[in-house]
Amino acid sequence: MFRTERFLSVVNPGTGLPAWYFLTREGRKGPFSSKTNAQVALHHYIDSCARQGLASRRTRLLANG
């Protein structure tokens, strides 16, 4: 089994600053001003999916571990 990178950074051509995103099966979420903000948002996203019964058991374990 392998893990893919969930985070990506692209440079905003208007500002020259990085914009951070996280990837889900549903698509790209963001932009966020930092990788830390994207990581926090991903954690909230996984928690929300778990509460709605949309996250797999493995995903819930990864989010809580």
- When divided into structural domains, the chain yields a total of 1
Q: What is the dihedral of CA 47, 48, 52, 57, to 10 degrees?
A: -30
Element (H, E) at 48: helix 35-51
CA dihedral 63, 32, 21, 64 (to 10 degrees): 0
Report pLDDT digits (tens) over 33-56: 999 999 999 999 988 888 887 766
Q: Which domain holds residue 39?
A: 7-64
Alpha carbons 34 and 27: distance in angstroms, whole number:
19
* 32 within some domain: yes
2-35 pLDDT, tens per residue? 455 789 999 989 999 999 999 988 899 999 999 9
- This prediction has a pTM of 0.72
